[in-house]
Amino acid sequence: MSSKSDLAIFVYGSLQPGESNWPRYCEGHVAERQRACIRGRLYRLSDGYLALGELETQNPKPETLPWVCGWRLVLRSEAALRNIDRLEEFDPAGPPEKNVYLRVRTTCFVDNGAAEPTPLGEVWTYTMTPAQLAKEGAVEVAPTKTTIG
């Protein structure tokens, strides 16, 4: 059985509560949810969907990255995580260059208005490589927040 941290994911686009993919992929499959932020760059793809690019774990000065806000979800099962993997065209057993998105670990923070961000721990999130972002016609989106608070 997976631990709670293995099933924690950060979502920032169509998988958020109230968005188009929430009912099919998340509703009934989420044990916990909380507003949260991560450091990274957000992009809009030519098809209108969002994608994360550079994350704090990929930047030598993570404090220079803007905040991307969304939700920390703890899924009920590995099956729910695999279902989201399929949506994101991510195969954990496949070569990275064959995936549209990559599922990576990053640190998630509480989005509660505090002056100092409170870490919630490690989560999975889905990102695109610079090459995939270019292929998808991605354009960087203005940060949702430059500071938490």
State pLDDT tens for residues 105-131. 999 998 776 666 789 999 999 999 999
Two structure tokens written together for 83: 């279902």
CB contact set of 104 (below 8 Å; sequence gap of 6+): 55, 57, 124, 125, 126, 127
State how many domains the chain has: 1
State pLDDT tens for residues 132-141. 999 999 999 9
CATH number at residue 127: 3.10.490.10
Give the domain range for residue 82.
Answer: 5-140
87 within some domain: yes
State pLDDT tens for residues 48-76. 999 999 887 777 788 888 889 999 999 99
pTM: 0.89
pLDDT at 149 over 50: no
Other Cβ atoms closer than 10 A to 63? 7
**What does the alpha-carbon distance between residue 6 and residue 75 come to, in Å, rounded to a whole number?**
9
